[in-house]
Structure 1
Amino acid sequence: MLLYLLRRFALLLSTLLMLTLVAYALEFQLQGAPQANFIDGYGQFISQLAAGDFGVSSVSGLPILGALGQYFPATLELCLAAFIISLLVGVPAGTWAALHLNRWQDATILTGTLIGYSVPVFWLGILLVTFFSLNLGWLPVSGQLSLLYDTQQVTGIMTIDTLLTDSPYRWPAFFDALSHLVLPALVLAIVPTTEVIRQIRSALLDVLKQNYIRAALTKGLSENYVILRHGLRNAFPMAIPTLGLQFGTVLTSAIMTEVVFDWPGLGRWLITSIALQDYAAIKGGTLAIATFTIVASATIEVLSTLIYPARRRAIYASQG
């Protein structure tokens, strides 16, 4: 197991180094570099990144690292909310589809996943804003919190910061932040939900074919108990590594979602930086998003291996 962890860490480190190499090569070609030697310039680039120096914005004149710390928590809040929604909807839907294989329920759910995967994020966002915000007036149009509530930023995650304040309007502010989160999180959750449904359905179908499932059913145990206690419990860890890759999908989709809902996150800041040709901000934002995606995917894969015995046995067999 230690050898596996070392290999994962080496792969993670090499991937991050390759990412920084591509980022520096683009900067070298676009802007030119004061160093005549590419290798020396890349070494200095790595040293600056290791020291937390991502450069200075040519628009605001402020350090890029400070901007990343300001905007990234809002993006993280939106992505986590979308991922939670995708699990809450996708796991039951995928289970229901697997239990009704080749029936109308299965066909309906799979058709829904195909439609959900094909719908453009920006179009769906505009559609939901028009219906729920402008026509019905149920939910806010944009932003992270109403101007009525003055909440100090502590973590940058507004649903948490509103609860940390000692204001007498703490709970109204929390529900206001939650209402602002609903529409963008729902839009962002569409694509990962379709993948969760597909992965849970596929994994559960494989598990239900196993002999221990048949043995549990022959003992007279109820079908619901067997599915929840043995089927889904063993199917979910099988799908975790693939689901971890959805962090990348969520982060890239968050860029357009933040623009549609005027969400003050990293994606909207990055789009604005591209429009203003702020190369330092573009480089810093791209590196931050890519690094978070790679680290999150690798971490989820390692955790799934640690908690899933079958994966550990496969690793031991390959190493033996």
Structure 2
Amino acid sequence: MLLYCLRRMAIGMLMLIALSLLVFVLLRLAPGDPIDAYINPNAPLSQTEMEMLRARLGLDQPLPVQYLSWLWAAANGDLGFSIQRAGVRVLPLIGERIGPTLLLMLTGLALAIVIGIAAGVVSAVKRNSAIDLGLGVLAFVGISSPAFLTALLGLYFFAVQLRWAPSGGMLTPGALFSWGDLLSHLILPSVLLSIGYAALIMRYMRSSMLEVLNQDYVRTARAKGVKEFWVVTKHALRNALLPVITLIGSIVGVAIGGAIFIESVFDWPGMGLLMVNAVETRDYPVIMGGTLVIGAGVIVVNLLTDLTYAAIDPRIQAA
């Protein structure tokens, strides 16, 4: 298992380097000169001053040298300084935004997992019933709804029209911190974030449960007189969870994209909003650093998913 973990970590590092290289190349292929992001349009520089600035930033070097310099600095924990926030280092800036994003994502994913698994089990047990049909329709709507549309509709109906929740932010401006205030701001965006993922988990869970419920050992348990509740929860549910666990691991990466829309619509001070603002202002160090941190998080989650998969099913050997 230790060798497996080390091998997966090595592969993850290579994937992280490839991701950073891809983002670096795409940023350089974007229209415009990177030096433009450093220049105040109200105070244009002379050609000589621009060349001096370009040399100071290392932008006069060949692209491979620029990338390797950035990679070496990143490996030593230096992601540079933000262009739009003078004197602010990228790593502490990202550190301030990770907490709110993790809070939103973990809450949304927790809701999606609980609701999706429970709905999938009920739908499988009540196969071809009105409950199964109703849950299937809701799952279809949830899967088909884009994150930005769900966020905008949820904001309009529940925050603007019904006023059941605040319309944005993480805390009420000017108010003292309280868990109740934080929860009131968290409920709506986390629920909206969970909708599509809960629907996807529900469909996978239903399909997996239907397959497991038709296995011989389940029929044997019923023939022995085991109560249906224990047949479903003890004998069927554990094996049916295996493909769902893999799905949940892959959802984490997708959830980052959904969180970007949610954070933008609700002005949630997390990584998504930071990355959107960085792209709009062409803050290259923040874009590169944010991509590196997000990619590392996805790789770690995928590794934990594989280990959890092997731990739940003893028949699986890490290879």
| Shorter-chain TM-score tier | 0.7 to 0.9
SS in 2 for 1:245: helix
Task: Return closer, same or farther for 1:42/1:122 CA change in 2, 3 Å cut-off.
Answer: closer
CA RMSD of aligned residues (A): 2.1
Q: Once the two structures are superposed, what CA deviation does each residue of 1:158-213 show, in whole Å capped at 9, x if it has no partner?
A: xxxxxxxxxxxxxxx11111010011001110111112112211221222122211
Find the aligned partners of 1:107 and 1:132 in 2 and give their Cα distance.
26
Identify the residue that residue 76 of structure 2 maps to in structure 1: 51
What does 1:127-138 align with in structure 2 at a 5 Å threshold?
A: 127-138=153-164
* C-alpha contact 2:113 2:201 (8 A) present in aligned 1: yes
1:258 matches 2:263: yes
Residues 306 and 225 (structure 1), Cα distance of their counterparts in 2 relative to 1, 3 Å cut: closer
**Pair 1:8–1:209, CA change in 2 (3 A):** farther
281 and 183 in structure 1: CA distance in 2 versus 1, 3 angstrom threshold: same
Residues in 2 aligned to 1:310 and 1:187: alpha-carbon distance in whole angstroms = 37
Q: Distance in 2 between matches of 1:45 and 1:28?
A: 14
Q: Contact between 1:24 and 1:45, CA under 8 Å: does it hold in 2?
A: no
Deviation at 1:20, TM superposition (A): 2.1
**Corresponding position of 1:21:** 21
Looking at structure 1, the residues matched to 82 and 300 of structure 2 have their Cα atoms a distance apart, in angstroms, of: 25
In structure 1, what is the Cα distance between the partners aligned to 2:79 and 2:277?
Answer: 18
Letter in 2 for 1:184: P
Q: Counterpart in 2 of 1:88?
A: 114
Distance in 1, Cα, partners of 2:191 & 2:266: 12
After TM superposition, list the pairs within 5 Å mapping 1:1-320 onto structure 2.
1-29=1-29, 31=34, 33-36=59-62, 38=64, 40-61=65-86, 62-151=88-177, 173-312=178-317, 315=318
Instruction: Summarize the Cα distance change of 1:276–1:27 in structure 2 as closer, same or farther, 3 Å threshold.
Output: closer
Q: Indicate the larger mover: 248-257 or 44-53.
A: 44-53
Deviations 1:5-60 (A, max 9, x none): 3442332222112112213333454549433372x443322211111211211111
Aligned counterparts of 1:115 and 1:136: Cα–Cα separation in 2: 22
Q: Which amino acid aligns with 2:190?
A: A
Q: Given that residues 16 and 292 in structure 2 are in contact (C-alpha distance below 8 angstroms), is that contact kept between their aligned partners in structure 1? A: no
Q: How far, CA to CA, are the matches of 1:22 and 1:102 in structure 2?
A: 47
Contact 1:68 1:266 in 2 (8 A): yes
CA offsets, 1:133-165, max 9 Å, x none? Answer: 2333321111111135334xxxxxxxxxxxxxx
Deviates more, 1:257-266 or 1:113-122: 113-122
Q: By how many angstroms is 1:86 displaced?
A: 0.4
Distance 1:70 1:6, change over 3 A: closer
| CA–CA distance in structure 2, aligned partners of residues 301 and 270 of structure 1 | 29
Inter-partner Cα distance in structure 2 for 1:7 and 1:66: 30
Partners of 1:41 and 1:120 in 2: CA distance: 38
1:120 and 1:21 map into 2 onto residues whose CA distance is: 29
Q: For residue 48 of structure 2, what is the aligned residue in structure 1?
A: none
- Matched residues, percent identical? 33
Contact 1:244 1:300 in 2 (8 A): yes
Name the aligned partner's letter for residue 91 of structure 1.
I
Moved over 4 A (4+): 27-30
Rg comparison, structure with higher value: 2
Amino acid at match of 2:133: A
The amino acid of 1:287's aligned partner reads L
Deviation, structure 1 residue 231? 0.9
Q: Distance between the aligned counterparts of 2:279 and 2:5, measured in 1? A: 38
1:117–1:191 Cα contact (<8 Å) kept: yes
> Does the 8 A contact of 1:195 with 1:243 survive in 2?
no
Name the structure 2 match of 1:163: none
Q: 2:20–2:291: 8 Å Cα contact kept in structure 1?
A: no
